[in-house]
Structure 1
Amino acid sequence: MTQDSNEPDELDLFRQATQGVKRITTNDRADVGKPRTDKKLVKTLQARATSSQQGIKVDGLSDQFVIDVHPEEELAWAANGVQESQLKKLKTGQIPFDGSIDLHGMTVERARELLWEFLAEAARMEIRCVRVTHGKAMRKDGRKPILKSHVNTWLRQHAQVLGFTSCVPRHGGTGSVYVLLKRTMLEGRDE
């Protein structure tokens, strides 16, 4: 095709159409929607993760085998040598508890750490009975209550625990347990 000299060429038409438009000055890279990786932040997080691994406490509480329990299941356990009458008093709330901890909404790791510290403090103070509130909510995936199951397992492993039972309704029912503890200074008085 030949072009008439009277008709403007395409370049002139383009210039006329874009007259007054400002050129955008940005980098020529496409926005892929993914932010760039902050390498310094990644290194810091890796270092923090590595250093926190070195500070893990060995508390003797194992999660290797956790006994799953139902939300409304009553818990009861006693170490060898604990009299049936003591467990019965514990179950009916006749042994007053002198300390309480609520583990609701915590991660398993955090609950474990706080429970260990709480029981250690109770033992130092020669407390005979404490209450541990673990909750009993059924999980969204239909599995058993995770904290209740872990607390049930941990308390059986703890050296200071003589026994535990679910609480009476006014103290939390099946969402809490009374925990009977050893007393070292008054050894032999927990019959």
Structure 2
Amino acid sequence: MQDDAQKDDESSLFTMEMRGVKRIQNDRADTGKVRTDHKQLANRRQNATQSVANVKVDGLSDQFVIDVGAEDELHWARDGVQEGQMRKLKLGQIGFDGSLDLHGMTVEKARETLWDFIAEANRFEVRCVRVTHGKAARVDGKRPLIKSHVNTWLRQHPQVLGFTSCLPKHGGTGAVYVMLRRTMMEGRDE
């Protein structure tokens, strides 16, 4: 009998301790994770789908731009490119068969134009082109914007084997000679 009295005391003690406590309506734990707003997610997906149609994917990233000075000489070669070829490029001994001037363009327009230009040169199996990026210091005192971006983009482009600043007669540190990969078109009669 004492066990029943002890149970009644524990039950009344428990009831007394639980006074003012509300019963949990949800049996799931709150992990602190923000709940997914399905309406917002649907809107984001729709907006992403619409904007993808307008964005040209070219593989050239602006995530990390290598800042260069107005008078800095640019020089870069992909692994495996012979030093002798790069030396000839720097001395202007490899003739360029196309030229592009990016002066006065926005960064986005310059990127699109450069991508299209290299694609066109690739279609015609051109070995070397010249890209004039300019070297004007910016109004805000920072380094040349287009020159810095071109220096970064050319390193990322799969068709570019190497590049180097031009001779003074071809633009000096305001332009680069760009050596391109050639795939040798089928049926080419040379």
What is the TM-score normalised by the length of structure 1? 0.70
- Identify the residue that residue 127 of structure 2 maps to in structure 1: 128
Distance in 2, matches of 1:51 and 1:102, equals: 32
Percent of aligned pairs sharing the same letter: 73
- Identify the residue that residue 93 of structure 2 maps to in structure 1: 94
- Identify the residue that residue 79 of structure 1 maps to in structure 2: 78
Give runs of aligned pairs for residues 44-55 of structure 1, distance below 5 A.
54-55=53-54
- Structure having the higher helix fraction is 2
Distance in 1, matches of 2:95 and 2:60, equals: 26
Aligned length: 137
Amino acid at match of 1:144: R
- Identify the residue that residue 22 of structure 1 maps to in structure 2: none
- Identify the residue that residue 180 of structure 1 maps to in structure 2: 179
Distance in 2, matches of 1:174 and 1:185, equals: 31
Amino acid at match of 1:89: K
Give the drift of 1:57.
1.2
- Residue 129 of structure 2 aligns to a residue whose secondary structure is strand
Give the drift of 1:184.
0.6
- Identify the residue that residue 137 of structure 1 maps to in structure 2: 136
Distance in 2, matches of 1:56 and 1:151, equals: 20
Distance in 2, matches of 1:63 and 1:92, equals: 30
Matched, 1:63 2:75: no
Distance in 1, matches of 2:118 and 2:72, equals: 23
Q: Deviations over 1:59-108 (max 9, x none)?
A: 11000000000000000000000011100000010000000000001000
Distance in 2, matches of 1:126 and 1:53, equals: 30
Give the drift of 1:185.
1.4
Distance in 1, matches of 2:83 and 2:181, equals: 16
Gaps of 5+ in 1: 1-49, 187-191
- Identify the residue that residue 21 of structure 2 maps to in structure 1: none
Q: Deviations over 1:28-51 (max 9, x none)?
A: xxxxxxxxxxxxxxxxxxxxxx96
Amino acid at match of 1:130: V
- Identify the residue that residue 152 of structure 2 maps to in structure 1: 153
- Identify the residue that residue 161 of structure 2 maps to in structure 1: 162
Give the drift of 1:147.
0.1
Amino acid at match of 2:147: K
Give the drift of 1:52.
6.0
What is the TM-score normalised by the length of structure 2? 0.70
Amino acid at match of 2:126: I
- Residue 111 of structure 1 aligns to a residue whose secondary structure is helix
